[in-house]
């Protein structure tokens, strides 16, 4: 089956949800054995979407599956309904059930009913309604001459639910099984992409099955393994085998797979050992703490964080001697050490992590340039301090510093007790 | 000029940089009067990109501009160079300057030289090299029969720099002026998208110039205004006029424009008043503090944050009486109030914000369900507490709670002194 996804972007400038949707859908479709041949983002005006949908009728690849996200909202620039109706000659009709559902949502939540919401009850003739229990915009499914078009709202949470509950079961029926493509991603931290690629070069030949590639995202270099097989069990076995071969090559830099990134790995190790953590942040300004508490259940081991942005806070909350800061500067090895040790002692936790550095864009000096960061880990076996010289802008320096601190803790937790 | 952008995604599943690049490019191109007609994400295999590039020769829209990002890395799945060479019959040749630059980068940084990095010195015959002072992969520019192809690395920081320094000047020459399209985005907080749309409906008619639309991203409902004019000055004047007409309709919900979101607005107001802020976070777990310190120069007003995840930390760091927590629970109006007031007093700041709530997915009860959050602001005029009942998942609840806290402070700072 030829598979395409389309995002209706607000003139392509609206930001992150477009790609969140496209990548999420690509992963879900892969699990159903469907590889996305192309993703297209179109502006929120009728013409380009109508043209794009019409070219599907001249494309000989059949059956074809097209999943459109976005453009189903209540406002005039939400054009997906009209474009599909136009491209497939399926005039819009008000759907009484949809109208009732929308009116009820507004009544229940006590919102003022804005009349333009009724636009969301319009559905192309012949289309099947896909209910949306998480929002006001229903989706729909239109099948024409072996071209299957699914339209879903662009709000990720609503789309994820609608795909899982409404679209995936219909796709399973349409495809009737066939090839299964499964993917596993091995995340690494500490080496550059080209070094990782060189390390596993023998696995990265084109045309292999499983196929292996590398990507860089969110501060990690990740190795992506994709297996094609007749059944899920077979594909899974192939992934297991390939991961077993790759892991020793990646060694200690291999932090985890799929959704298992540094915060999740550290959380699991700490919870298993019934140990606790506190965090003293300066340059990362709450990011390290935020990453840790992104993990549901972090309260089992995470006691507190002190974001001591001002020097006086470092002294008052962490007991860092004012003299030490005067002598070495807030961004220094001794202050990073004192922050971690001070917090570990007042919070009474097994471990304490600290960060202090110059995230920029200003504040750098010749001896302490932007990107200079000290991270420290205080624990039962003493304190470790590491100096980092990070490239990039403020966001990237903060992200890398927080990840490096988590990795310092991960490596400590992996040592034999 | 017909304009397209193409991202080479790692099988479309690699995450956020793809869309970061596409949206950033769309905004930059708009400033040059170029509207992106289509963005396409293709898997990192040769075939689809070659086909896509070849269809440009049959597309009558000329001149055509194509900007490709990604797929220029050192590994075998980086296929952009080969695909362009193939589609335009411009065989790859090693560029001696590029080779020298790459070897020097490795020498300087003391990295091991991985031989596959030399792939990055291969350039299609007849293409012009676009230097990359921020990384190892150079870009290139190939012009053929009025089709202009620019290829840049996918790493956002490298691409942003290369576009600004190398691509934009060439595009200015190519277009020789013409229509200028400028955009302004008015961010709002507090109303749903359909209510905002209804409020400004008269401005959202299709075909108007400036064109007005709404989008939802990062917890804000934003109104996007796009003006087309012959000169930049004319377009700017149109934007100013339209923004002046929209602002009174949006009223107090209008928080700022373009890059001015809640953290930036609050930062500017606090800095102007020489006032200070501390933050006590429970359910937001560092996110509120992270949002504030995302703003460069936050150290001018931001003193500290206490992320008191454990109840004992609320008592030790914020002086919240253990009895109060026992009596009302950690997620309660009195505890939110005590957190803010306690921190304001120990940190000695003008204002203190606090958050306490149930972010889920577990931990909810019939009387205190997931999504129940209390936020408090303690300041010179006393303490305000607000109760929120937020829909969505853990990430969304935390995000909305942090934004609502910032908005509480914003509204206080806007009151006449």
Contact state of B193 with A73 under an 8 Å Cβ cutoff: yes
In this predicted structure, which of A73-82, A378-387, B53-62, B143-152 has the lowest mean pLDDT? B53-62
CA of A341 vs chain B CAs: smallest distance (Å): 17
- Closest partner residue to A39 among B41, B294, B394, by Cβ? B41
- Closest partner residue to A304 among B183, B296, B309, by Cβ? B309
CB contact set of B326 (below 8 Å; sequence gap of 6+): none
- Closest partner residue to B22 among A12, A217, A361, by Cβ? A12
CA geometry: angle A7, B16, B71, nearest 5 deg: 95
Q: pLDDT 10s digit of each residue in chain B, 417 long? A: 778 888 787 545 544 455 678 888 888 888 787 888 888 888 888 888 998 898 877 777 778 899 999 999 887 778 999 999 999 999 999 999 988 888 888 787 777 777 778 888 999 999 999 999 888 889 999 999 889 999 999 888 899 999 999 999 999 888 876 677 888 999 999 998 889 999 999 999 878 999 998 888 888 999 999 898 888 899 999 999 999 999 999 999 999 999 899 999 999 999 999 999 999 999 999 999 999 999 999 999 999 999 999 999 999 999 999 999 999 999 999 999 999 999 999 999 999 999 999 999 998 999 999 999 999 999 999 999 999 999 888 999 999 999 999 999 999 999 987
How far is the C-alpha of A79 from the C-alpha of A72, rounded, in Å?
7
CB contact set of A233 (below 8 Å; sequence gap of 6+): none
Q: What pLDDT is attached to residue B16?
A: 47
How far is Cα of residue B70 from the mean position of the Cα atoms in its chain?
19
Assign A43 a pLDDT band (cuts: 50, 70, 90): confident
Contact state of B74 with A193 under an 8 Å Cβ cutoff: yes
How far is the C-alpha of A278 from the C-alpha of A287, rounded, in Å?
13
How far is the C-alpha of B302 from the C-alpha of B293, rounded, in Å?
8
> By CA distance, what is B202's nearest residue in A?
A76
CA of A288 vs chain B CAs: smallest distance (Å): 8
Q: Is B68 within 8 Å of B6 (Cβ atoms)?
A: yes
Strand partners, B229: B180
Q: Is A174 within 8 Å of A34 (Cβ atoms)?
A: no
How far is the C-alpha of A123 from the C-alpha of A95, rounded, in Å?
6
pTM above 0.90, yes or no: no
pLDDT digits 0-9 by tens, A236-253: 999 999 999 999 999 999
Q: Is B92 within 8 Å of B123 (Cβ atoms)?
A: yes
Specify the DSSP class assigned to residue B154: S
Q: Exposed, middle or buried by CB within 10 Å (0-12, 13-18, 19+), for A131?
A: middle
Q: Beginning with the edge strand found earlier in the chain, give each strand of the sheet holding B211-217 in spatial order.
A: B211-217, B220-229, B180-188, B254-257
Assign A112 a pLDDT band (cuts: 50, 70, 90): confident
> By CA distance, what is B316's nearest residue in A?
A347
Name the residue among A313, A277, A305, A288 with its Cα closest to residue A373: A288
Q: Which of B6, B309, B352 to mutate to test the interface with A (most CBs of A within 10 A)?
A: B309
Give percent of chain A with pLDDT exceeding 70: 97
CA of B389 vs chain A CAs: smallest distance (Å): 11
pLDDT digits 0-9 by tens, A254-299: 999 998 999 999 999 999 999 999 999 999 999 999 999 999 999 9
DSSP E strand stretches across B109-244: 122-124, 128-130, 139-144, 147-152, 180-188, 211-217, 220-229
Helices marked H in A251-358 = 262-273, 287-293, 311-318, 322-328, 333-347
Give percent of chain A with pLDDT exceeding 90: 63
Q: What pLDDT is attached to residue A50?
A: 92
Name the residue among A85, A56, A82, A68 with its Cα closest to residue A147: A56
Q: Which CA distances in Å does B417 have to B59, B273, B407?
A: 62, 10, 18
Assign A17 a pLDDT band (cuts: 50, 70, 90): low
Q: Is the pLDDT of residue A161 over 50?
A: yes
Number of Cβ pairs < 8 A linking chain A and chain B: 324
Mean pLDDT of chain A: 90
Q: What pLDDT is attached to residue A117?
A: 80
Contacts of B161 in chain A (CB under 8 A): none
pLDDT digits 0-9 by tens, B237-257: 999 999 999 999 999 999 999
Task: Classify strands A372-379 and A351-357 as parallel, antiparallel or unpaired.
Answer: antiparallel
How far is the C-alpha of A390 from the C-alpha of A365, rounded, in Å?
15
Contact state of B195 with A112 under an 8 Å Cβ cutoff: yes
Contacts of A136 in chain B (CB under 8 A): 194
How far is the C-alpha of A261 from the C-alpha of A124, rounded, in Å?
43
DSSP string, B3-32: EEEEEEESTT-S-THHHHHHHHHHHHHHHT
Q: What angle separates helix B46-58 from helix B80-87, to the nearest 10 degrees? A: 40
Specify the DSSP class assigned to residue A320: -
Q: Is B36 within 8 Å of A12 (Cβ atoms)?
A: yes
First-last CA distance in chain B: 53
DSSP-based three-state secondary structure for B177: coil
Q: What pLDDT is attached to residue B15?
A: 45
> By CA distance, what is B119's nearest residue in A?
A194
Contact state of B19 with A14 under an 8 Å Cβ cutoff: no
Q: What pLDDT is attached to residue B280?
A: 98
Comparing A45 with A123, the larger pLDDT belongs to: A123
CA of A159 vs chain B CAs: smallest distance (Å): 13
Q: Which of A31, A103, A158, A215 to mutate to test the interface with B (most CBs of B within 10 A)?
A: A215
Contacts of A121 in chain B (CB under 8 A): none
Q: What pLDDT is attached to residue A15?
A: 46
Q: Which of A2, A10, A199, A275 to mutate to test the interface with B (most CBs of B within 10 A)?
A: A10
First-last CA distance in chain A: 53
CA of A90 vs chain B CAs: smallest distance (Å): 22
Q: Is B247 within 8 Å of B402 (Cβ atoms)?
A: no
Contact state of B197 with A76 under an 8 Å Cβ cutoff: yes
Specify the DSSP class assigned to residue A398: H
């Amino acid at each position: 089956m030829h598979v395409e996804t389309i995002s209706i972007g607000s003139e392509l400038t609206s930001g992150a949800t477009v790609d969140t949707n496209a990548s999420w859908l690509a992963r879900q479709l892969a699990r159903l054995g469907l590889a996305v041949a192309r993703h297209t983002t179109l502006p929120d005006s009728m013409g380009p979407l109508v043209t794009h949908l019409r070219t599907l009728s001249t494309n000989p690849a059949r059956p074809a599956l097209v999943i459109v996200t976005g453009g189903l909202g209540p406002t005039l620039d939400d054009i997906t309904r009209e474009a599909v109706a136009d491209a497939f000659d399926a005039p819009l009709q008000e759907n009484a059930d949809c109208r009732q559902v929308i009116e009820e949502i507004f009544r229940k939540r006590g919102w003022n009913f804005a009349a333009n919401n009724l636009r969301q009850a319009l559905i192309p003739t012949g289309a099947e309604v896909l209910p949306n229990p998480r929002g006001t915009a229903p989706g729909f499914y239109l099948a024409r001459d072996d071209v299957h078009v699914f339209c879903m709202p662009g709000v990720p949470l609503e789309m994820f639910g609608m795909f899982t509950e409404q679209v995936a079961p219909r796709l399973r029926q349409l495809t009737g099984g066939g090839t299964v493509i499964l993917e596993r991603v091995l995340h690494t931290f500490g080496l550059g992409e080209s070094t990782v690629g060189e390390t596993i070069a023998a696995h990265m030949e084109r045309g292999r099955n499983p196929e292996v590639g590398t990507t860089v995202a969110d501060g990690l270099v990740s190795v992506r393994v994709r297996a094609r097989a007749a059944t899920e069990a077979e594909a899974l076995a192939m992934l297991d085998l390939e991961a077993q071969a790759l892991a020793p090559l990646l060694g200690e830099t291999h932090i985890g797979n799929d959704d298992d990134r540094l915060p999740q790995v550290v959380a699991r190790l700490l919870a298993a050992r019934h140990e606790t953590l506190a965090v003293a942040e300066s340059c990362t300004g709450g990011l390290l703490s935020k990453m840790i508490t992104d993990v549901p259940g972090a309260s089992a081991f995470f006691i507190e964080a002190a974001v001591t942005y001002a020097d006086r806070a470092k002294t008052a909350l962490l007991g860092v001697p004012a003299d030490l800061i005067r002598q070495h500067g807030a961004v220094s090895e001794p202050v990073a050490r004192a922050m971690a040790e001070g917090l570990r002692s007042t919070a009474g936790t097994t471990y304490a992590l600290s960060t202090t550095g110059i995230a920029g864009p200003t504040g750098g000096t010749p001896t302490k340039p932007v990107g200079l960061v000290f991270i420290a880990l205080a624990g039962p076996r003493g304190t470790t301090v590491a100096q980092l010289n990070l490239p990039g802008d403020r966001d990237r320096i903060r992200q890398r510093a927080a990840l490096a601190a988590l990795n310092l803790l991960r490596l400590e937790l992996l040592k034999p007790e």
